[in-house]
Amino acid sequence: MKKHLKRLPAPRSWKIARKEFVWAYKPRPGPHPAAAAVPLAMALREMLQVAGNAREAERLVFDRSVHVDGRVVADPKFPVGLMDVLTLAPTKQSFRMLLDARGKLTLLPIESAEAAWKLCRVRGKSTVRGGKFQVQLHDGRTILLPKSEYATGTTLKVSLPEQKVLGALPLAEGNIALLTGGQHAGGLAHVARVERTRNPRANVVHFQEGFSTIVDYVFVVGAKTPEIRVPEGQAV
């Protein structure tokens, strides 16, 4: 497996200049897939522009000045993905990784109160020893719960870095969802109904706006209004 990555074949979700330079950071294996995350050093240099070159970006990281989801990250290739909260310790600025209206990953400034939590989508759940239930979230983390009360596809509001569940947004009619893939990636829509396929194919979610997509591309972000700030051009 190659350890390097050129800019031209880099994931299309990255907001980078593809012809100005040749090489890009290749994200390490981590909580997010490479196509849905940006290496930390590139987020600092290309997206936030707080570093002029790779050396300056790495210095910020190695100085332990950057936090992701409330924890210090000292790896410039660490993948920062959807809903992750990036904080610059020297300036106390916080940003949330989101998708813009074109389906590109973007860092949106947020207040310090918003940086204390994030939204996580339940990807699966299982029973573990002791009669407890474990839910697997989209960012690789797992949470142990005393009872099974959240279905797959539900979005949990999780505190950072304590990882306590503050609330839940089910995949239900009328709720607002962010589309993370497909033709409508980056858009917001209202859930109309969920079609259970009862076969190896993925379940299908139909929206009030008149289109549908597979359930894996649906990330519930609010009930009547989004729980998070969204980039411009994503009005519901």
One domain, residues 204 and 150:
no
- Domain presence at residue 236: no
Question: What band does 160 get if pLDDT is binned at 50, 70 and 90?
Answer: very high
One domain, residues 13 and 102:
yes
One domain, residues 164 and 187:
no
pLDDT tens for residues 208-217? 999 999 999 9
pLDDT tens for residues 5-47? 999 999 999 999 899 889 999 999 999 998 899 999 999 999 9
With tokens 């050093």, the residue in question is 41
- Domain presence at residue 30: yes
Number of structural domains the chain divides into: 3
The boundaries of the domain holding residue 100 are 5-115
| Pair of tokens at residue 147 | 């009872």
Overall average pLDDT of the 114-142 stretch: 94
Question: What band does 2 get if pLDDT is binned at 50, 70 and 90?
Answer: confident
Cα separation of the two ends of the chain:
42
Q: Who's near 204: CB < 8 A, 6+ residues apart?
A: 194, 195, 197, 212, 213, 214, 215
User: Would the pLDDT of 1 be above 90?
Assistant: no
One domain, residues 125 and 141:
yes
pTM of the model: 0.92
Q: How far apart are CA 81 and CA 118, in angstroms?
A: 12
The lowest-confidence range among 79-88, 94-103, 227-236 is: 227-236
- Domain presence at residue 96: yes
One domain, residues 149 and 210:
no
Please tell me the predicted confidence (pLDDT) of residue 108: 96
- Domain presence at residue 228: no
- State the Rg of the chain over Cα: 18
Q: Which of 72, 88, 115 is the last residue of a domain?
A: 115
One domain, residues 46 and 124:
no
One domain, residues 40 and 60:
yes
* Domain containing residue 127: CATH number: 2.40.50.740
One domain, residues 136 and 189:
no
